[in-house]
Amino acid sequence: MPFSLSHNSTFSFAGTTFDVTSVSVEGPTAEIVDMTPGGAPVSHRVLVATGGYTDTGSIDVEAFGFADPKTFIGVAGAAVFATPLGTVTRNVICESASAEGRVGELLRLRFKLKPTDFA
């Protein structure tokens, strides 16, 4: 697979597009059931993956730009990540958002998104 820089990558959510500086994706948490028989030795465990998940994971995004973080909290919609190699779209709910500005630097927004199967 060829290497590619993440330059010119964007993040769009709730009608606003930002230049992405960082994206971190935490995958879903697998549902694992303890099926150990009652008479098994203490050090013996029988764990079975159900094929489902107990948590959908999360997506953390940092981007250049500015908007009131409160306008994104609890908003459900499509998060679109566009890179030079292609586009990825996920339905998400914005769990938290923050804005940061420092003298001599660009304004930054941070988002914590929860993927959802709800469209």
Give 94 or 3, the one with higher predicted confidence. Answer: 94
Q: Above pLDDT 70, what percent of the chain?
A: 93
- Domain-wise residue ranges, the chain: 10-29+57-115
pLDDT tens, residue by residue, 54-101: 888 999 999 998 889 999 999 999 999 998 889 999 999 999 999 999
Reported as a pLDDT band with limits 50, 70 and 90, residue 25 is confident
Question: Rounded CA gap, 9 and 20, in Å?
Answer: 6
E-only strand ranges, the chain: 10-13, 16-26, 29-34, 47-55, 58-64, 76-83, 86-100, 108-115
Question: For the chain, what is the total number of helices (H) and then of strands (E)?
Answer: 0, 8
**What global pTM score does this model have?**
0.77
